[in-house]
Amino acid sequence: MYWYATGIPGIGKTGAEKMNYRFADRMQRVPESFLGELFRVSRHPGIISFAGGLPDTSLIDAPGIAAAAREVMEEEGPLALQYSTTDGYLPLREYIAARYRTRLGIPAEAAEIQIVNGSQQCLDLVAKIFCNPGDPIGMERPGYLGAIEAFSLYEPVVYGVDLCDDGPDLAMFGRVVEEHSPKFFYGIPNSQNPSGRSYAAETRRAIARILEGTDTVFYEDDAFGELFFDGRPRPPVKKHLPERGILSGSFSKIVAPGMRIGWLLAPEPVLTQFNVAKQAADLHSNFLCQVILHRYLSSFDLDAHAQRVAAVYAERCRVMCDLLDDLLPAGVTHTTPEGGMFLMAFLPDHISSMDVFREGVRQKVAVLPGVPFYVNGGGDHSIRLNFSRSTAEEIKEGMARLAGVIRSLS
């Protein structure tokens, strides 16, 4: 990238001298992001987009959050507008820890929790404290695109483990752990992004048995654990791995993503290093939003709200799955999520997901090709579909358009 001087006094020289910005080598090795293109096409007029990953805006309790904000500003304004500690607002951390104890049976304490700018920040900071260039890490295949991009900045060697309907392929997982001793394995056991799959209870226990006695940390991203359609929480892998498990969570999917409030639950040695990296990155997360969120949650039934959100998403998921079965040509299969916001469809070998993406944009329906979700190649015949953002009517029209796209490519 170059800047061309314009002769402005004090800035460069007159003429066409080129400034060579000496960026870090790592920037040349970061995989090209598909997200910019995705957001661009999703804004086209008339597009029905299943490509994004947004919660439904209509399910955000804006009046309730506004009322909490007014109370905070009236009663605690000077405190809430001041700098704070890096680990986050203590009452909010106590609230999160109490929910772990009552909801999941994990003996969590506030001292084990760090507030972050959405659980996405955990990806960056965990990789920062664990990874030297060339270090081994493991992750699911397909895996979360945001994690692939965040980890790549620290130049690890990534070993993908194929994801089956009930979780990672355990034989493959065991080989990666034994042969490469990854610093950590990153996974989304609950309603995974992109596939929508969830780990079976036995798979969770088997992962703990495989990691017992190793130095590999299991990094568990639980962004969707509150959104199981049956309302039944699944015990996290960390319950079986108290010292080798770290667990991130977020209020983005069940309260409001714009508040950017997430957290990490981790053993003290990990949290100490994480806090150092967090402080260097931003001193602390948005303190005003932390105080407002805690005030809001103190008088709000979060469990009931999460169940309402999950019920809406369950119906939309059912509609999408039924239409995939009824409208799409033979040879197209799909996952059937138990919760969350996403599913994956798998195309016949002669149909490229990139062709579906490009032709879909032309026919006013956007999907996300599977390619960027696969480390070390793959995903050419899979697409990710989001059902949380679209109404049932939009899903019906979008699925009809998608069926037309796939037929035209057949």
Per-residue pLDDT at 26: 87
| Residue 230, burial from CB neighbour count under 10 angstroms (0-12, 13-18, 19+) | exposed
- The one-letter code for the residue type at 355 is D
Q: Does domain 63-299 have CATH number 3.40.50.620?
A: no
Domain with CATH 3.90.1150.10 in the chain: 33-60+304-409
Per-residue pLDDT at 44: 74
Q: For residue 116, count other CB atoms closer than 10 A to its CB.
A: 27
Distance of alpha carbon 403 from alpha carbon 400, whole angstroms: 5
pTM: 0.92
pLDDT in tens, 306-330: 999 999 999 999 999 999 999 999 9
Query: What is the CA angle 95-98-104, rounded to 5?
Result: 130
Per-residue pLDDT at 39: 66
Domain with CATH 3.40.640.10 in the chain: 63-299
Residue closest to 261 by CA, chosen among 283, 290, 288: 290
Are 10 and 17 within 8 A, CB to CB? no
Residue 116 Cα distances to 24, 112, 144, 375, angstroms? 26, 13, 19, 26
The pairs formed by 234-238 with CB atoms below 8 angstroms and a separation of 24 or more are 234/189, 234/190, 234/198, 234/199, 234/201, 234/204, 235/104, 235/105, 235/201, 235/204, 236/104, 236/106, 236/189, 236/190, 236/204, 237/187, 237/189, 237/199, 237/204, 237/207, 237/208, 238/106, 238/265
Reduced to 3 states (helix: H, G, I; strand: E, B; else coil), residue 271 is helix
> Angle of helix 62-80 relative to helix 287-298, nearest 10 degrees?
130
Reduced to 3 states (helix: H, G, I; strand: E, B; else coil), residue 226 is coil
Distance of alpha carbon 196 from alpha carbon 190, whole angstroms: 8
Topology (CATH level 3) of domain 33-60+304-409: Aspartate Aminotransferase, domain 1 (3.90.1150)
Distance of alpha carbon 72 from alpha carbon 77, whole angstroms: 6
| Phi, psi at 398, each rounded to 5° | -65, -40
Residues of the chain with pLDDT under 50: 1-11
pLDDT in tens, 53-95: 899 999 999 999 999 999 999 999 999 999 999 999 999 999 9
Q: For residue 392, count other CB atoms closer than 10 A to its CB.
A: 15
Distance of alpha carbon 206 from alpha carbon 218, whole angstroms: 12
Distance of alpha carbon 206 from alpha carbon 183, whole angstroms: 19
DSSP state of 116: E
